[in-house]
Chain A
Amino acid sequence: GENVEQHPSTLSVQEGDSAVIKCTYSDSASNYFPWYKQELGKRPQLIIDIRSNVGEKKDQRIAVTLNKTAKHFSLHITETQPEDSAVYFCAASKGGSYIPTFGRGTSLVVHP
């Protein structure tokens, strides 16, 4: 089955800096890569996703890049703010009826 590795497990940045979280996947048939943000005590929520037919997608301060050849994808957060502090999960899926496989999560702390 699919295996998703996520790094780093913890990330500490100063407000205004950029943060990058990286994930690798093992199944070359995976074609859908969502990212979830989970604030303390709350449910995971989808913040951005990318499909295998594009290499990059942006939404304001958040961007995701995908390298299909290397089988890795990354989440980029620019101009970080304290409210970006949360646990971020990546996932990979083959779409259709295939259930996404989640990474282990990255705890991001943005210091004011």
Chain B
Amino acid sequence: SAVISQKPSRDICQRGTSLTIQCQVDSQVTMMFWYRQQPGQSLTLIATANQGSEATYESGFVIDKFPISRPNLTFSTLTVSNLSPEDSSIYLCSVWRDQETQYFGPGTRLLVL
């Protein structure tokens, strides 16, 4: 398994501001993923973060809105920029272990007022 922590666990932000979410893993992983889960919805992949390279964004997500850093093999950050109420969601980081098994962090609940 994988031990994944995220900070903050929740936050309330004003529109127009930004929030940076941190994800820490207990051991080195090649790929880290960032997902968004809107209330009652499925898991939508935002981007894949590989250490030492630019993140790969899924359709509908852009770097200017969701900049990602991956400074080493155990840590990543996701910033949600220029917040609007539509960004209110749960943001989850995830890693792969054991070839394909995917493990999720506890999530960050964001409310934008």
| Residue positions of A touching B, CB distance < 8 A | 32, 34, 42-46, 49, 89, 91, 93, 95, 97, 99-100, 102-105
Q: How far is the CB of B105 from chain A (nearest CB, A)?
A: 6
Known: A102-B42, A104-B42. A43 touches B102 (CB 8 A): no
Known: A89-B42, A102-B43. A45 touches B104 (CB 8 A): yes
The answer to whether B105 touches A43, judged by C-beta atoms less than 8 angstroms apart, is yes
Closest-by-CB residue of A relative to B101 is A46
Chain B interface, number of residues (Cβ within 8 angstroms)? 17
Known: A99-B48, A102-B42, A105-B42. A46 touches B102 (CB 8 A): yes
Check: B103 CB closer than 8 A to any chain A CB. Answer: yes
A34 to B41, CA, bound (A): 18
B102 CB contacts on chain A under 8 angstroms: 34, 46, 91, 100
| Residue positions of B touching A, CB distance < 8 A | 31, 33, 41-43, 45, 48, 92, 99-107
Point out the residue from B43, B45, B48, B99 that lies within 8 Å of A95, measured CB to CB: B99
Point out the residue from A44, A49, A95 that lies within 8 Å of B104, measured CB to CB: A44
A42 to B107, CA, bound (A): 8
Point out the residue from B31, B41, B100 that lies within 8 Å of A100, measured CB to CB: B100
A89 to B102, CA, bound (A): 13
Q: How far is the CB of B104 from chain A (nearest CB, A)?
A: 4
Most buried by A among B31, B102, B103: B102
Point out the residue from B33, B45, B101 that lies within 8 Å of A34, measured CB to CB: B101
Closest-by-CB residue of B relative to A94 is B100
Closest-by-CB residue of A relative to B59 is A1
Q: How far is the CB of B32 from chain A (nearest CB, A)?
A: 12
Q: How far is the CB of B77 from chain A (nearest CB, A)?
A: 18
B92 CB contacts on chain A under 8 angstroms: 43-44
User: Can you pick out 20 interface pairs between chain A and chain B where the beta carbons lie within 8 Å of each other?
Assistant: A32-B100, A34-B102, A42-B106, A43-B107, A44-B92, A44-B104, A45-B104, A46-B101, A46-B102, A46-B103, A49-B101, A89-B43, A91-B102, A95-B99, A99-B33, A99-B48, A102-B43, A104-B42, A105-B41, A105-B42
